[in-house]
Structures are given as C-alpha cells and as structure tokens.
C-alpha cells in the first residue's frame, strides 16, 4: 500500500506517516527480526500441534 492510500484508508495525514517512517527507520533490523521470528515460531507451534493430533511419525509415502 502506498503512502497516499494508507493516509486515505486510515484517515491520517501524510506527514504523520512520514514521521512514523523516520522514527522506525532506526529500528528496522529489529522489527524485521521480530516479524521473522513470529512467523517461524508460529510454524513450529503448528507443526507440534499437528504431531499431537496425529500421534505418530510415519514415512512420507504412508501419510495421506
């Protein structure tokens, strides 16, 4: 979504969005790492839940 579209969608000014970009640019790496970890942890948890429901490991050719 572009800056102008975000401003229209959320009802905020363009200067507010640009100010947020300036503020968060110094912690870009931290935010990116946090986002990637959230996705990774979600995949780990979903995989664990699947194993709990199935209850056993089987070779890939036996799984349906």
Q: 55 pLDDT band (50/70/90 cuts)?
A: low
Residue 64 domain-assigned? no
Residue 20 domain-assigned? yes
Q: Let me know how many helices (H) and strands (E) the chain has, helices first.
A: 3, 0
Q: What is the pTM of this model?
A: 0.42
Residue 47 domain-assigned? yes
Q: Which domain, by its residues, includes 52? A: 3-57
Tokens of 8: 């229209």
Instruction: Encode pLDDT of 10-43 as tens digits.
Output: 999 999 988 988 888 888 888 888 888 877 777 6
Check if the beta carbon of residue 7 is closer than 8 Å to that of residue 17. yes
The count of structural domains within the chain is 1
Tokens of 3: 């800056």
Dist CA 64 CA 62 (whole Å): 7
């Amino acid at each position: 979504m572009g800056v102008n579209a975000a401003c229209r969608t959320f009802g905020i000014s363009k200067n507010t969005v640009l100010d947020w970009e300036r503020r968060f640019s110094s912690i870009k790496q931290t935010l990116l790492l946090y986002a990637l970890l959230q996705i990774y942890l979600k995949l780990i948890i979903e995989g664990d839940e699947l194993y709990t429901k199935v209850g056993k490991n089987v070779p890939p050719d036996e799984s349906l």
